[in-house]
């Protein structure tokens, strides 16, 4: 980008200085260990362990299980920002089960699973969010064979869904294995710990209360449109149907519902900030107030009164699914989609990670609860938790996706306050790594 290359050299200097600081809130990548994966077709069981002796002697010896390689890299002891990945086992169904949610542990124990004989009941320690270069571990479940399956490979998870597995969301975030067998330390685009939340692994193990969910009756469609402008492209998202209609009169084509989000802040949700860069014609959305501050300094500006496109979950909870964030450096386009297929096939785009979690649109234009509720780790309390709610037992249907019938949308009144704008140093560093990467891509492309 010739327009930007002049100020960028000074930015690079700043970036290099910040990167030199120790990153205390990320786990130590030199103590990563491999979580191995084995499978028994006979028992329909996927089994994961970091304990090589257990893998060899208890699973592989005798031929019951077959070794399937490295599932992920994680930690065997508690590390900054990590939480335990609990391991349970159901002898009747022969099913190994792994979760970061202590609430879910209790539910599964009620249903016949028991803690397995591992240190502190854990398989290891993982991040609860996409931070510090960690990537998602997808969780799937086959109700027919009663098998929980975990993979970091999107293509593999899609194949499993064709074979009777259901998408159960994200089990946690850890380091991707690479083809040469070492950990990819910076695999996903860095995402950010929302500023109002901190991970406290200790308190999670003793907590018992359930998560708080937003009211599914209040969701509104986040509408998506696309425009080509010369060599550039822009994906544009809004819940405001009048604004969308105006955009459609002016070069944009409507592409449907991107997600179902909330127009006002509800339990466990956080604001999705919306910014626009007029020079490169790029709409940009982030839940990270610090990241929005950084892009403000790069020529982006808030382009709505309240700076917010809507509200969504920062984690995979309450049946919400990930919104993938992608970036195409040659067309300077940020692209957001909940479709794994679309994100895997978006030519010229790199997946930058997960922008947040919302309800999936379904083919009939209604929101759906796609993932099973991966519960909010109870020590992670978003600032919105003062609102009243109940844990939903049924799926409430929201408004339809039709632009015409999508009537008045409530306008959130608050603009980002100072608390929301405060942010951890880790998040800042994570972002700066991301910016450095984008900057390098721009300069060298």
For the segment 80-119, give every residue that binds ligand NAG (CB under 6 A).
118-119
Q: Please choose, out of 49-57, 90-98, 150-158, 371-379, the segment that lies near ligand NAG by the rule CB under 6 A.
A: 49-57
Q: Rule CB under 6 A: choose which of 13, 61, 109, 246 binds ligand NAG.
A: 246
Does 378 help bind ligand NAG (rule: CB under 6 A)? no
Whose Cβ is closer to ligand NAG: residue 242's or residue 341's?
242
Q: Rule CB under 6 A: choose which of 294, 326, 371, 426 binds ligand NAG.
A: 294
CB of 315 to ligand NAG, least distance (A): 21
Residue 317 and residue 83: Cα distance in Å, rounded?
16
What phi and psi values does residue 18 have, to the nearest 5 degrees? -65, -40
Q: Please choose, out of 51-59, 160-168, 348-356, 365-373, the segment that lies near ligand NAG by the rule CB under 6 A.
A: 51-59
Q: Of the candidates 117, 5, 76, which has an alpha carbon nearest to the alpha carbon of residue 438? A: 5
Does 290 help bind ligand NAG (rule: CB under 6 A)? yes
Q: Rule CB under 6 A: choose which of 2, 10, 30, 206 binds ligand NAG.
A: 30
Q: Rule CB under 6 A: choose which of 9, 57, 66, 278 binds ligand NAG.
A: 57
* Number of residues located near ligand NAG, criterion CB under 6 A: 33
Residue 398 and residue 273: Cα distance in Å, rounded?
23
Q: Rule CB under 6 A: choose which of 183, 258, 378, 384 binds ligand NAG.
A: 183
Residue 200 and residue 207: Cα distance in Å, rounded?
11
Can you give the C-alpha Rg of the chain in angstroms? Answer: 22
Half-sphere exposure of residue 324: CA atoms within 13 angstroms, side-chain side: 21
CB of 230 to ligand NAG, least distance (A): 24
**Counting Cβ atoms within 10 Å, is residue 30 exposed (0-12), middle (13-18) or buried (19+)?**
exposed
Place of tokens 């590390």: 79
Does 423 help bind ligand NAG (rule: CB under 6 A)? yes
Q: Please choose, out of 132-140, 177-185, 275-283, 381-389, the segment that lies near ligand NAG by the rule CB under 6 A.
A: 177-185
Q: Give the residue nearest to ligand NAG (CB).
A: 293
User: How many other CB atoms are found less than 10 A from the CB of residue 284?
Assistant: 25
CB of 408 to ligand NAG, least distance (A): 7
CB of 397 to ligand NAG, least distance (A): 22
Annotate each residue in 249-288 with x if it binds ligand NAG (CB under 6 A) or - if it does not, as one string.
----------------------------------------
| First-residue to last-residue Cα distance in the chain | 8
Residue 422 and residue 79: Cα distance in Å, rounded?
23
CB of 82 to ligand NAG, least distance (A): 10
Q: Please choose, out of 158-166, 355-363, 375-383, 421-429, the segment that lies near ligand NAG by the rule CB under 6 A.
A: 421-429
Q: Are 1 and 329 in contact (CB under 8 A)?
A: no
Buried b (16+ CB within 10 A) or exposed e, 229-262: eeebbbbbbbbbbeebeebbeeebeeeebbbbbb
The strand pair at 350-358 and 333-337 is best described as unpaired
All residues at 6 or more sequence positions from 334 whose CB lies less than 8 Å from its CB, including other chains: 235, 282, 283, 284, 285, 325, 326, 327
Residue 258 and residue 52: Cα distance in Å, rounded?
43
Q: Please choose, out of 55-63, 87-95, 326-334, 393-401, the segment that lies near ligand NAG by the rule CB under 6 A.
A: 55-63
Does 422 help bind ligand NAG (rule: CB under 6 A)? yes
Q: Of the candidates 165, 147, 129, 140, which has an alpha carbon nearest to the alpha carbon of residue 313? A: 129
* Sheet bearing 321-328, strands edge to edge: 333-337, 321-328, 350-358
Does 428 help bind ligand NAG (rule: CB under 6 A)? yes
Annotate each residue in 135-174 with x if it binds ligand NAG (CB under 6 A) or - if it does not, as one string.
----------------------------------------
Q: Please choose, out of 140-148, 236-244, 318-326, 379-387, the segment that lies near ligand NAG by the rule CB under 6 A.
A: 236-244
Whose Cβ is closer to ligand NAG: residue 79's or residue 211's?
79
Q: Rule CB under 6 A: choose which of 242, 278, 341, 417 binds ligand NAG.
A: 242
Helix and strand numbers, DSSP H then E, in the chain: 10, 24
Whose Cβ is closer to ligand NAG: residue 57's or residue 209's?
57
Query: What is the binding site for ligand NAG (CB under 6 A)?
Result: 29-30, 42, 51, 53-54, 57-58, 63-64, 76-78, 118-120, 178, 182-185, 240, 242-243, 246, 290, 293-294, 409, 411, 422-423, 428
């Amino acid at each position: 980008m010739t327009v930007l290359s002049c100020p960028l050299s000074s930015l690079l200097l700043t970036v290099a200085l910040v990167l030199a600081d120790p990153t205390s809130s990320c786990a130590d990548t030199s103590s990563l260990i491999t979580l191995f994966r084995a499978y028994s077709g006979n028992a329909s069981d996927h089994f994961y362990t970091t304990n090589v002796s257990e893998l060899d002697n208890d699973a592989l010896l005798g031929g019951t299980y077959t070794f399937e390689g490295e599932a992920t890299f994680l930690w065997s002891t508690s590390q900054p920002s990590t939480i335990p990945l609990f391991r349970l086992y159901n002898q009747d169904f022969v099913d190994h089960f792994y979760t970061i949610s202590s609430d879910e542990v209790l539910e599964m124990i009620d249903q016949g699973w028991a803690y397995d004989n591992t240190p502190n009941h854990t398989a290891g320690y993982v991040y609860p969010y996409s931070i510090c270069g960690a990537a998602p571990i997808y969780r799937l479940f086959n109700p027919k064979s009663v098998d929980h399956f975990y993979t970091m490979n999107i293509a593999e998870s899609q194949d499993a869904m064709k074979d009777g597995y259901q998408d159960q969301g994200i089990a946690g975030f850890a380091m991707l294995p690479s083809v040469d067998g070492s950990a990819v330390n910076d695999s996903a685009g860095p995402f950010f710990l929302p500023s109002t939340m901190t991970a406290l692994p200790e308190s999670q193990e003793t907590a018992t209360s359930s998560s708080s969910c937003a009211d599914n009756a209040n969701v509104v469609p986040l509408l998506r449109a696309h425009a080509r402008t010369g060599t550039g492209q822009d994906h544009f998202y809004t819940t405001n149907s009048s604004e969308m209609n105006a955009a459609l009169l002016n070069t944009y084509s409507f592409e449907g519902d991107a997600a179902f989000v909330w127009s006002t802040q509800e339990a466990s949700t956080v604001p999705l900030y919306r910014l626009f860069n007029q020079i490169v014609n790029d709409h940009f959305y982030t839940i990270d107030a610090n990241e929005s501050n950084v892009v403000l300094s790069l020529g982006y500006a808030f382009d709505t009164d309240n700076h917010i496109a809507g509200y969504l979950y920062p984690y995979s909870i309450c049946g919400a699914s990930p919104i993938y964030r992608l970036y195409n450096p040659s067309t300077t386009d940020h692209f957001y989609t909940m479709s794994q297929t679309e994100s895997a096939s978006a030519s010229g785009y790199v997946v930058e990670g997960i922008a947040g979690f919302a309800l999936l649109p379904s083919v009939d234009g209604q929101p759906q609860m796609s993932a099973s509720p991966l519960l909010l780790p109870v020590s992670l309390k978003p600032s919105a938790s003062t609102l009243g709610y109940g844990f939903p037992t049924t799926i409430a249907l929201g408004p339809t996706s039709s632009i015409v019938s999508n009537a008045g949308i409530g306008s959130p009144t608050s603009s980002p306050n100072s608390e929301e704008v405060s942010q951890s140093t880790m998040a800042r560093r994570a972002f700066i790594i991301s910016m450095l990467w984008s900057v390098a891509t721009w300069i060298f492309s």
